[in-house]
């Protein structure tokens, strides 16, 4: 059975199950039986009406067939009207052909009923569909108005500042929070260019985002900008920018801004406190390093020389005592070397006197000496001295990175790449060790017990820098710190 036949049978089955089908069938039967009963007489008033209209009895009865045809079209669509009109035609034709005294007129009347019935049924069906379409359109319009009302409520009552401007930078709409944030009234905002509300240093960033949106390069964008209030004070906001479309064409932009002024102020305060703590920590390291170098190391030197002199004289000393003195002198020298290394680790003298690169050269030679890892320093760009705080942060990060390589990586080679640029300084520490699995974000380093890496990130952030970690199991690791300088 093909698809068309199946669909036809399926439609017919549904029709038969409806009560309207049986009512139409009964109506056809009630019209057809009198149509063939010659002895039947219509009421006098009906005969008068038919006479005034120029109709005979059987012509009038044929017209009655229009009722079930139109009704079927209304209930079952055009297919129902066609089937019913064919059934009515089958009821009318035998009388028109074999019984009627004027068969041609009767056939014409039957054909007219068939045609008019279908036209009326299809017309009513079209009217019904048009009414349904209008009803649906009205419902859609009501839903659209309700949706617009909901959007308007969300727009007005949002806890974020929202404003829209056209392609000429004219503000076309703004919500209550934006009015409160900027200090302007809504009427004042309509006479202000949107770019006038953005700090001069941030305008180019916002315009670049809008240009990318116009070219379809990005879908929405989140950035941090500074807004200028009516009283000329500034507010830091996280800004999300999206295009406003009309007929699939960009006609403006919608900005959603979240006020992060207090949050940023707290972050700045926290960063300041961390800087002070770090500075105090480094000052304490310097003090301890100086004391170890100037006092402890000197005392150990004196003690070593005394033991050496006592062992060299050998007066009244047995061979065992001489051997013991030699061992004590050697232990004192070892302790002195350890103290010197600790003093250098706490605060390398080369960093304060000569700068970052000599300090890194010393660090590399020291690591190679006690770890056996082949380490080298390469430099790109023109070497220059950096601010003391920047050099200290970069050195500490490189020092911690090398310490991690020695303790965990099982590497045999390490390279430190120092790059000097006009606007930034970058240091990359790469090794050929076993590598490790990276967390999803840098912020998860402390949670994953990678406190050394977390400390590096905190140091870099104190100076507005960034830390990037790359690693793959079996292929080593790479740590890059970039500081604006």
CA dihedral (469, 473, 477, 479) in degrees, to 10, reads: 10
Name which of 468, 359, 466, 483 is nearest 421 in CA terms. 483
Q: Is residue 142 part of a domain?
A: no
Query: Could you tell me if 355 and 485 lie in one domain?
Result: yes
Distance CA 80, CA 75 (A): 7
Query: Could you tell me if 333 and 363 lie in one domain?
Result: no
The pLDDT of residue 445: 55
Give the pair of three-digit tokens for residue 155: 């727009």
Cα separations in angstroms, 475 against 408, 409, 435, 478: 14, 10, 6, 10
Residues sharing a CB contact under 8 Å with residue 418, sequence separation 6 or more, in sequence order: 356, 357, 360, 377, 378, 379, 380, 425, 426, 427
Query: Could you tell me if 239 and 214 lie in one domain?
Result: yes
Name which of 172, 164, 184 is nearest 229 in CA terms. 184
Q: Is residue 163 part of a domain?
A: yes
Query: Could you tell me if 91 and 183 lie in one domain?
Result: no
Query: Could you tell me if 196 and 233 lie in one domain?
Result: yes
Please report which residue ranges of 385-481 form alpha helices under DSSP H: 388-404, 451-462
Name which of 433, 444, 443 is nearest 401 in CA terms. 433
Query: Which of 300, 319, 347 is at the close of a domain?
Result: 347
Give the pTM.
Answer: 0.46
Distance CA 416, CA 394 (A): 12
Q: Which CATH number goes with the domain that contains 186? A: 3.30.450.20
Count other C-beta atoms under 10 Å from residue 192's C-beta: 17
Largest CA distance in the chain: 166
Q: Is residue 148 part of a domain?
A: no
Q: Give the range of the structural domain holding residue 302, as residue numbers without chain letter.
A: 265-347
Query: Could you tell me if 237 and 324 lie in one domain?
Result: no
Query: Could you tell me if 479 and 388 lie in one domain?
Result: yes
Query: Could you tell me if 355 and 341 lie in one domain?
Result: no
Per DSSP (E only), the strands in 360-423 are: 374-380, 413-420
Distance CA 325, CA 331 (A): 10
Query: Could you tell me if 332 and 357 lie in one domain?
Result: no
The pLDDT of residue 7: 47
Query: Which of 73, 105, 136 is at the close of a domain?
Result: 136
Inter-residue contact 221 to 142 (CB < 8 Å): no
Number of structural domains in the chain: 4
Query: Could you tell me if 449 and 327 lie in one domain?
Result: no
Q: Is residue 151 part of a domain?
A: no
Q: Is residue 150 part of a domain?
A: no
Q: Is residue 124 part of a domain?
A: yes
Q: Is residue 149 part of a domain?
A: no
Query: Could you tell me if 364 and 450 lie in one domain?
Result: yes
Query: Could you tell me if 175 and 251 lie in one domain?
Result: yes
Give pLDDT tens digits along the chain (485 positions).
Answer: 554 565 466 666 776 777 778 888 888 888 888 777 765 666 665 666 666 666 677 777 788 888 888 888 878 777 888 888 888 888 888 888 888 888 888 888 888 888 888 888 778 778 878 888 898 888 888 888 888 788 777 777 788 888 888 988 898 888 888 888 888 888 888 888 888 888 888 888 888 888 888 887 766 567 788 888 888 888 888 888 888 888 888 888 888 888 887 777 776 666 676 667 667 776 777 777 677 767 777 787 778 777 777 777 666 667 777 778 778 878 888 887 777 777 666 667 677 778 888 888 888 888 888 788 888 899 998 888 888 888 888 888 888 888 888 888 888 899 999 999 888 899 999 999 888 877 765 555 545 555 678 778 888 887 788 888 888 888 889 999 998 86
Q: Is residue 147 part of a domain?
A: no
Inter-residue contact 398 to 426 (CB < 8 Å): no
Query: Which of 259, 287, 310 is at the close of a domain?
Result: 259
Q: Which CATH number goes with the domain that contains 358? A: 3.30.565.10
Residues sharing a CB contact under 8 Å with residue 251, sequence separation 6 or more, in sequence order: 166, 167, 244, 245
């Amino acid at each position: 059975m093909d698809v068309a036949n199946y669909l036809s049978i399926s439609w017919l089955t549904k029709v038969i199950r409806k009560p309207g089908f049986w009512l139409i069938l009964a109506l056809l039967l009630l019209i057809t039986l009198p149509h063939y009963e010659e002895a039947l007489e219509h009421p006098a008033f009906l005969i008068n009406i038919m006479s005034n209209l120029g109709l005979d009895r059987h012509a009038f009865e044929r017209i009655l067939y229009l009722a079930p045809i139109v009704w079927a079209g209304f209930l079952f669509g055009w297919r129902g009207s066609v089937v019913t009109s064919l059934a009515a035609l089958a009821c009318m034709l035998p009388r028109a052909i074999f019984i009627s005294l004027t068969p041609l007129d009767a056939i014409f009347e039957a054909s007219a009923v068939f045609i008019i019935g279908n036209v009326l049924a299809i017309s009513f069906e079209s009217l019904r569909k048009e009414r349904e379409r209008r009803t649906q359109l009205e419902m859609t319009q009501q839903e659209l108005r309700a949706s617009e009302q909901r959007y308007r409520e969300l727009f007005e009552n949002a806890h974020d500042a929202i404003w829209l401007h056209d392609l000429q930078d004219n503000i076309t709409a703004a919500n209550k929070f934006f009015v409160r944030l900027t200090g302007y009234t809504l009427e004042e905002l309509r006479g202000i260019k949107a770019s006038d509300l953005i700090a001069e240093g941030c305008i180019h960033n916002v315009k670049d985002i809008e240009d990318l949106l116009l070219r379809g390069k990005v879908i929405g964008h989140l950035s941090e900008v500074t807004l200028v209030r009516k009283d000329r004070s500034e507010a830091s906001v996280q800004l999300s920018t999206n295009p406003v479309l009309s007929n699939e064409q960009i006609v403006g932009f919608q900005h959603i801004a979240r006020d992060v002024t207090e949050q940023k102020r707290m972050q700045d305060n926290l960063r300041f406190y961390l800087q002070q703590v770090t500075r105090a920590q480094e000052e304490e390291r310097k003090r301890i390093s100086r004391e170890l170098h100037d006092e402890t190391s000197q005392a150990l030197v004196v003690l070593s020389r005394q033991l050496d002199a006592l062992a060299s004289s050998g007066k009244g000393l047995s061979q065992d005592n001489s051997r013991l003195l030699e061992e004590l002198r050697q232990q004192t020298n070892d302790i002195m070397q350890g103290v010197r290394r600790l003093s250098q680790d706490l605060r390398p003298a080369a960093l304060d006197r000569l700068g970052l690169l000599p300090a890194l050269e010393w660090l590399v030679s020291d690591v190679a000496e006690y770890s056996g890892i082949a380490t080298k320093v390469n430099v790109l760009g023109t070497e220059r001295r950096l601010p003391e705080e920047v050099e200290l942060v970069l050195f500490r990060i490189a020092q911690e990175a090398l310490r991690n390589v020695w303790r965990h990586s099982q590497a045999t080679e390490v390279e430190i790449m120092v790059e000097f640029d006009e606007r930034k300084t970058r240091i990359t520490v790469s090794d050929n060790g076993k590598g490790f699995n990276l967390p999803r974000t840098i912020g998860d380093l402390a949670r994953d017990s990678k406190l050394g890496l977390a400390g590096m990130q905190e140091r870099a952030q104190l100076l507005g820098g960034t830390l990037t970690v790359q690693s793959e199991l079996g292929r080593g690791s790479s740590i890059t710190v970039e500081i604006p300088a």
